Structure 1
Amino acid sequence: MAKTDQTLRALHDEGLLLLANVTDAGSARLVEARGAKAVATSSAALAWSWGYRDGNQLPLKLLSASVEAMARVLTVPLSVDIEGGFSDDPDKVATVVEAVLTAGAVGINLEDGHASPEILCRKIEAARRVAEAKGVDLFINARTDVYLKGLVAPEQQLAETLTRAGFYSSAGADGLFAAGMVDADDIGELCRSTPLSVNLLYRPDLPEIEALCELGVRRLSAGSAIAEFLYGANAALAADFMITGRLSTQHLDALTYKGLNELMPPV
């Protein structure tokens, strides 16, 4: 683990790290076999794989089981999206962090969502304490949902993101995941204004990879987009087979995040 934690940290200094977020151990191994330098989970895809909705609902024992299964088949670093840590209590978040580190993760995503940034700061500090106690140089990627969830008015989003980046950096984060940010000017200003490694979430209207590199982006995540397409393909293939007894790949479309999430029964 000591080797892979340093590897993950170094990857953020070597250009744009592309993360094709995975669902389970099989997809993790597949992505590594296709040349991934690191593997990262999608919290939504992982929750759906167990029949749970995204949004801090997956039981910790199942999260830990997934991480352990992935770590068993990987030789590259593994980063795990633990959403908001499944609690607003930093001590409970610390328990989650300890569990995923024990299972083999060397990076985590922690998000603010609709909670105040001060709460995420306390979670980051708790995660850092746990990692230091375990001797892991944990890469903490702080996700802010200012853009993704429209936490403030559009004209205030960049300023609010910069403010939160300062908070999260001071708390001990290593990366800033500005999910939902797509404007090149905003991206450039964020990259220039924070020492954190800037992470973006795939969107069709993002600038091309070359432009992102020039702007200073260090990490691009697919999020749940790959899983949405794969589940859509699964549904179409299964439905067609149950009608015709044949497999047809002619009409495959992604399912939506909302549709997949609502398909899972509520806790």
Structure 2
Amino acid sequence: MPQTTADHARRLLDLHTQPEILVLPNVWDVVSAQVVAATPGVQALATASHSIASTFGYPDGERIPLELHLDMVRRIVEAVSLPVSMDFEAGYGHPGDTARRAIEIGVAGGNLEDGMRPLGEAVAAVQAVMEAGRAAGVDFVLNARTDAALRATPEQSRTQVIREVITRGQAFLEAGAPVVFVPGLIAREEIQEVSDALGQRKLTVISVPGVSLPARELQRLGVARVSTGPFTQRVALTALQDAAADILGGGTLPATTRPLN
């Protein structure tokens, strides 16, 4: 029996509360989604707004037209049988309406940036997204993002930064978001502090190449989910450029290349 968006949303929510951390290598088009979905152990997908924008030649930051963004996400949803979470940035000016349109194309969850707007405005945006889910009969899995750590200035102490992260995260949870996303949170001690303050399996983080903790360690710290943002696309592009450089230099394409499309 085909799975509905509501079914996928319930499944995605369950994946955030299970003992094992949810690992989401982010995708940006149909073939990347199909390749990741076919990888053993993958249970859900998440799109990366930065990567989708780059695919069409746009910079990050809601510069790609929403219609084009939604069309790519729709294609991804239709190409796989797993729950899909969409990164819809700060909501394109209308978080509730953008969430409604995402749900209409089958999206089960999403990221919403606070952009360090005044807390009241950020909370209202979270509430609007959750209301869109309720109106559609979907337990929408909002990954409410705060940029408090990502946008921290040198003048701020880390104590101040983490305090702001916790304040905003707790407010988003109280507004109905099931989990809170904190990019820029890297240090083990800070992750532990925020995880303890928000509660077990309420925190999500991003894996940054060369500096982030392994997923198993994040799981031990109580983290619900780890994603990869634009970095999976950069892994693919790095491999492409390296292969091009090798063959231009007189070599051959890697013998480990697999027919994944």
Q: Matched residue of 1:163: which SS?
A: helix
Give 1:64 shift: 1.3
Deviations 1:150-173 (A, max 9, x none): 154433111111111121112211
Give 1:209 shift: 2.6
Q: Distance in 1 between matches of 2:23 and 2:130?
A: 24
Deviations 1:7-47 (A, max 9, x none): 00000111200010001111111111113100001111111
TM-score (norm: length of structure 1): 0.85
What corresponds to 1:181 in structure 2?
A: 185
Give 1:206 shift: 2.5
Alpha-carbon RMSD: 2.0
Is structure 2 residue 207 aligned with structure 1 residue 202?
Answer: yes
Number of residue equivalences: 245
- Assess, with a 3 A threshold, how the Cα gap between structure 1 residues 156 and 213 changes in structure 2: closer, same or farther: same
Aligned pairs (5 A) from 1:98-137 = 98-137=100-139
Q: Matched residue of 1:200: which SS?
A: strand
What corresponds to 2:259 in structure 1?
A: none
TM-score (norm: length of structure 2): 0.87
Aligned pairs (5 A) from 1:17-166 = 17-35=22-40, 36-87=42-93, 92-150=94-152, 152-166=156-170
Q: Distance in 2 between matches of 1:119 and 1:153?
A: 25
Answer whether contact 1:110 1:120 (CA < 8 A) is retained. no
Is structure 2 residue 216 aligned with structure 1 residue 214?
Answer: no
Answer whether contact 1:24 1:46 (CA < 8 A) is retained. yes
Deviations 1:47-98 (A, max 9, x none): 11111111111111111111110111111110001111122xxxx2222111
Select which of 218, 230, 234 maps to 2:240: 234
Of all paired residues, the percent bearing the same amino acid is 29
Answer whether contact 1:83 1:111 (CA < 8 A) is retained. yes
Q: Distance in 1 between matches of 2:249 and 2:162?
A: 52
Please identify, of 37-46 and 178-187, the stretch whose mean Cα deviation from structure 2 is larger.
178-187
- Assess, with a 3 A threshold, how the Cα gap between structure 1 residues 39 and 247 changes in structure 2: closer, same or farther: same
Give 1:247 shift: 4.9
Deviations 1:87-122 (A, max 9, x none): 2xxxx2222111111111110000112322322211
Answer whether contact 1:2 1:137 (CA < 8 A) is retained. yes
Q: Matched residue of 1:12: which SS?
A: helix
What corresponds to 1:10 in structure 2?
A: 14
Q: Which amino acid in 2 is paired with 1:129?
A: E
Q: Matched residue of 1:46: which SS?
A: helix
Please identify, of 228-237 and 168-177, the stretch whose mean Cα deviation from structure 2 is larger.
228-237
Listed as ranges, the gaps of 5+ residues in structure 1 are: 251-267
Deviations 1:222-248 (A, max 9, x none): 11111112223334545666x579754
Q: Matched residue of 2:33: which SS?
A: helix
Q: Which amino acid in 1 is paired with 2:174?
A: S
Answer whether contact 1:67 1:104 (CA < 8 A) is retained. no
Please identify, of 67-76 and 201-210, the stretch whose mean Cα deviation from structure 2 is larger.
201-210
Answer whether contact 1:237 1:249 (CA < 8 A) is retained. yes
Answer whether contact 2:195 2:203 (CA < 8 A) is retained. yes
Listed as ranges, the gaps of 5+ residues in structure 2 are: 256-261
Q: Distance in 1 between matches of 2:85 and 2:164?
A: 26
Q: Which amino acid in 2 is paired with 1:210?
A: R
